[in-house]
Amino acid sequence: MVLASLRDVRFTYAYADRSALDGVTLELASGGLHGVVGLNASGKSTLCALLRGIIPHFHTGQLTGEVEVLGRPLLEWEPADLSRAVGCVFDNPFTQISGIRDTVFEEIALGLENLGTPRDEMIERIERVVEQIGLQAIVAKNPNDLSGGQRQKVAFASIIAMDADVMIIDEPTSQLDPEASEAVFQIIADLKARGKSIVLVEHKTDLLATYADTITVLSEGRVALTGPTRDVLSDPRILEFGVRPPDVTELAWRLADAGKPLGSTPITSAEAQAAVRQRLEKRAS
Amino acid sequence: MIELRDVRFTYPDGSTAVAGVDLSIASGERVAIVGQNGAGKTTTVKLMNALLTPTAGEVLIDGVSTAGRTTAQVARSVGYVFQNPDDQLFSADVRSEIAFLPRYLKWPDDMITERVEQAAALAGITDHLDTNPKDLPSAVRKFVAIAAVLVSGCSHVILDEPTAGLDTRGLDLLTGILDSLERDGVTVVTITHDMRFVTDAFTRVVAMAQGRIVADGELADVFGDDDVLAQARLKRPDPAQLARDLRLGDRVVTIDDVVAAIP
């Protein structure tokens, strides 16, 4: 099953002079965790909005090419069905919070109410997600009184509670501390283990290195690189597209520049440790 | 000089955010404040420009206490760039946004024009001067907010999570701004969760936990100390962890350090 298939997709927002997506051809398998990286304005958020049907239903503009989501052409989906199948966390937690609900609990309920979830099931799901994301202490607070990091967690919780088969998650950790970021990634990994398909826009390539199956690099509305996580993150061309490699990958490149190459290019800290240890042992013998 | 002397702050709901902080930051110094969400970082820096006033203790800016002074008075010497740029942007175009503070300070028109253009150039937003801030991507709005603060020529600047949502191009621009401020002798206090930004751009780090400072020193004093990392719930950056696991040295923290330490 294919999560999403795009063929030569172009999209230009109404009144924009440049295409946000400019000939994107891409296939994402279902059941995988797909990282999307690239500079700001490279088309990442537009891609997310497209997979969720927000383009072309809400943001209008000129769309050409073929887009299929879960095997069905995008324009054949009823928007209500698509919103049930594909959940979406936006990149700005300050705008995602509805502003019309008095408590975090009610805020998380908003999406479920729109899906027509029965009351008892709704309460059960909210309680589960509140515990999973660690929101117990703020569940009765007004969402408008929360910090950026807390709002981001609430926005994330709202989507997890909706339990869609596909989740489009746009920069869920930009306001979070390292521990909370790691926790969000672990929740995303759990979702994947439960068979969910995930598209994740994220700048933190060190976390993508551990969790993502594939990575797509967008640049100026085009797919610059796409493939298995290892192949993409260890490709020095990512620098040209404004993507910061994992620290350990950069370390390996810098060691090579300094005339101290490692035997392989690590993308995770465990791999880096093995590669550096090997070099140290070789030098010692 | 920014000095906090046994500063405490309790919110009206009774929660104590800052529980006795002593901190001294010399003029022109660059300091990163790190720690978990809720550790008291934002409250601490809000005390530095009188957005909040201490429940107990004293905050001195260049030797003068903030007690009894308004935020508007203190903001002339201590600029504050909010975490969410939308908290501070309200004008119809970027030029008037940046000119807001100079107009409030009743600077002459030609001086306003000149300083606005300088601040916009420094923040890399010259092309957007006639745009409505709301029509700009959030990463660019962040630089509008920075320009709107720097234009005042304040001698100390506070940046709350400046790297959130920035791509590599934005990070390079931000690093350039920090270097320029350093050349001008402007103090920079930054709150950040981005440990790579800390190790790339700072030499002094203050780690906070539960409203207190648990470490204040060089990078290695924070990232080399297990107790500090556990208290502040920080993860050691990967290069520092690698150095530790392979016993490359206690003070090896940054990628440069590791490259130098490996034979």
Segment A185-191 shows an average pLDDT of 88
Segment A162-174 shows an average pLDDT of 86
Question: Which are the contacts of A239, defined by CB distance < 8 A and separation ≥ 6?
Answer: A245
Instruction: Check residue B137 and give its pLDDT.
Output: 81
Instruction: Check residue A98 and give its pLDDT.
Output: 67
DSSP labels, B148-167: HHHTT--SEEEEESTTTT--
CA dist list (Å): B146 to A9, A159, B97, B202, B216: 36, 32, 11, 19, 26
Mode of pairing for the β-strands spanning A214-219 and A61-69: unpaired
Q: How confident is the model at residue A99 (pLDDT cuts 50, 70, 90)?
A: low
Whole-structure pTM value: 0.85
Spacing of C-alpha A158 from chain mean position: 15
Return the beta strands (E) in chain A as ranges.
2-13, 21-29, 33-37, 61-69, 72-73, 86-89, 166-170, 197-201, 214-219, 222-228
Amino acid at B256: D
CA dist list (Å): A183 to A55, A173, A247, A279, B258: 30, 10, 20, 33, 28
* pLDDT greater than 80 at residue A149: no
Report d(CA B50, CA A140) in Å as an integer: 29
3-state secondary structure A219-257: ECCEEEEEEEHHHHHCCHHHHHHCCCCCHHHHHHHHHHH
Q: What tens digit of pLDDT does each residue of B147-173 get?
A: 999 999 999 999 999 998 788 889 999
Dihedral (C-alpha) A248, A252, A254, A257: value to the nearest 10 degrees?
Answer: -170
Report d(CA A138, CA A132) in Å as an integer: 13
Instruction: Check residue B38 and give its pLDDT.
Output: 82
CB A214, CB A35: distance < 8 Å = yes
Segment B90-101 shows an average pLDDT of 90
A185 SS3 class? helix
Instruction: Check residue A97 and give its pLDDT.
Output: 64
B238–A272 CB contact, under 8 Å: yes
- For residues A90 and A164, the model is more confident at A164
Residues in chain B with CB shorter than 8 Å from the CB of A242 are 167-169
Residues of chain A whose C-beta is under 8 A from some C-beta in B?
A: 38-41, 91-92, 94, 147-150, 171, 174-182, 203, 206, 242-244, 246-248, 250-251, 254-255, 258, 260, 269, 272-273, 276-277, 279-280, 283
In angstroms, the separation between the Cα of residue B197 and the nearest Cα of chain A is 11
User: Nearest 5°: CA angle at A130, between A124 and A135?
Assistant: 155
In a mutational test of the B interface, the residue from A37, A177, A205, A278 whose CB has the highest number of chain B CBs within 10 Å is A177
Which of A50, A98, A48, A72 shows the shortest CA–CA distance to A199? A48
Report d(CA A278, CA B4) in Å as an integer: 49
Report d(CA A158, CA A87) in Å as an integer: 9
Fill in the DSSP letter of residue A215: E
Residues in chain B with CB shorter than 8 Å from the CB of A276 are 242, 246, 262
Q: What tens digit of pLDDT does each residue of B37-83 get?
A: 889 999 999 999 999 999 999 999 999 999 888 888 888 899 999 88
A177–B35 CB contact, under 8 Å: yes
Report d(CA B123, CA A216) in Å as an integer: 30
In angstroms, the separation between the Cα of residue B98 and the nearest Cα of chain A is 23
Report d(CA B36, CA A179) in Å as an integer: 8
Kindly state the helix (H) or strand (E) to which residue B112 belongs, with its residue range: helix B109-122
Q: How confident is the model at residue A96 (pLDDT cuts 50, 70, 90)?
A: low
Instruction: Check residue B30 and give its pLDDT.
Output: 97
